[in-house]
Amino acid sequence: MKFRGSAIVMTVYLLFLLVPIYWLLNMSFKTNAEITGGLTLIPQTFTLQNYVTILTDPSWYMGYVNSMIYVMLNVVITITVALPAAYAFSRYNFMGDKHLFFWLLTNRMAPPAVFALPFFQLYSAMNLIDTHIAVALAHCLFSVPLAVWILEGFMRGVPKEIDETAYIDGYSFPRFFIKIFMPLIASGIGVAAFFSFMFSWVELLLSRTLTTTDAKPIAVTMTRTVGASGIDWGVLAAAGVLTIVPGALVIYFVRNYIAKGFALGRV
């Protein structure tokens, strides 16, 4: 009885989540004539033309490439700087550590809209506008505090005796960190990378402000195509579907870690 109730609740909720996505998918396989002609629950004139358009036109597919580049850059930079910092927070007391930690976290609370304009001016001044690194660095502002927080939680779970044993065995700090410590918190690194990826991938305001053509992300390509001379609904839907795919893949691979990362209560 109870099982049946839960199943109904979950089915209804998942339907609520999936129907709008299905509608997008559905549209992406239709011709514009069919989309505007009337409502059809499954494509009557099934076509891959919308996808072909995107995958053959550089102004479309370069959007994906750009997004991928700066997302990856962001993940790499974030993890690289967050690891030693999280280690310091988890292992040592030092002057101003609590304030520093709190200050890092307040950055998570800053509205991107507040930073958009100053970022634009700062990066213009440094000739970084429209580069992948600019977007990656800007996103670091939000992903680094998060990563430090998550990693610190995982590191606290590793007993300090392990560090001490390694030093007694003659390991240098970098060698200990890479050979012994990092494998121990591998799942933590995975979770932190996942959240960095997630943030950078879904963000639009900053990436739009900081790019014009060469590093323009796919999400922005979509907004600029809309409303030019009538909307190409089919292509728009197909582009949307393609932005969901990388996220879906990442979720699938880290599904066993998601609950664990959430369990730490650190998002």
Partner 1 sequence: MEKTQNNKAWFLVLPVLVLVAFSAVLPLMTVVNYSVNDTFGNNEFFWTGLEWFEEMVTSDRLWDAFGRQMLFSGIILLIQIPLGIFIALNMPKSGFWASFCLVLMALPLLIPFNVVGTIWQIFGRVDIGLLGHTLAAMGIDYNYTNDPLDAWITVVVMDVWHWTSLVALLCYAGLQSIPQAYYQAARIDQATRWSVFRYIELPKMKGVLLIAILLRFMDSFMIYTEPFVVTGGGPGSATTFLSIDLAKMATGQFDLGPAAAFSLMYFLVILLISWVFYTVMVNMDREDAK
Question: Hey, which residues between 125 and 144 contact partner 1 (CB under 8 A)?
Answer: 137-138, 140-141, 144
> Which residue in 129, 135, 191, 222 binds partner 1 (CB under 8 A)?
222
122: amino acid identity, one letter: L
Q: Report the distance separating Cα 186 and Cα 160, nearest Å.
A: 17
Stretch binding partner 1 (CB under 8 A), from 44-52, 54-62, 119-127, 182-190: 119-127
Q: Which of 1, 56, 58, 111 binds partner 1 (CB under 8 A)?
A: 111
User: Least distance to partner 1 from the beta carbon of 30, Å?
Assistant: 10
**Smallest distance from partner 1 to CB 23, Å:** 5
HSE-CB at 71 with a 13 A cutoff on CA atoms is: 26
In terms of C-beta distances under 8 Å and separation of at least 24 residues, what long-range contacts does 121-124 make, across chains too? 123/210
Q: At what angle do helices 58-91 and 233-263 cross, to 10 degrees?
A: 10
Residue 29 Cβ vs partner 1, minimum distance, rounded to whole Å: 14
122 part of the interface to partner 1, by CB under 8 A: yes
65 scored as a contact of partner 1 (CB under 8 A): no
The rounded distance, in Å, linking the Cα atoms of 112 and 251 is 25
- Least distance to partner 1, CB of residue 250, Å: 7
Q: Pick from 113, 162, 182, 186 the residue near partner 1 by CB under 8 A.
A: 113
H/E segment holding residue 137? helix 132-156
Size of the site for partner 1 (CB under 8 A): 95
Q: d(Cα 243, Cα 259) in Å, to the nearest integer?
A: 24
**Contact residue for partner 1 among 42, 56, 58, 93 (CB under 8 A):** 93
Residue 264 DSSP SS3: coil
Phi, psi at residue 214, to the nearest 5°?
A: -65, -30
244 binding partner 1? (CB under 8 A): yes
- Is 10 a binding residue for partner 1 by CB under 8 A? The answer is yes
Q: What is the smallest separation between the CB atom of 170 and partner 1, expressed in angstroms?
A: 20
As to burial, measured by CB atoms within 10 angstroms (0-12 exposed, 13-18 middle, 19+ buried), residue 257 is middle
266 belongs to the binding site for partner 1 (CB under 8 A): yes
Per CB under 8 A, contacts with partner 1 among 21-50 are 21, 23-24, 27, 35-36, 39
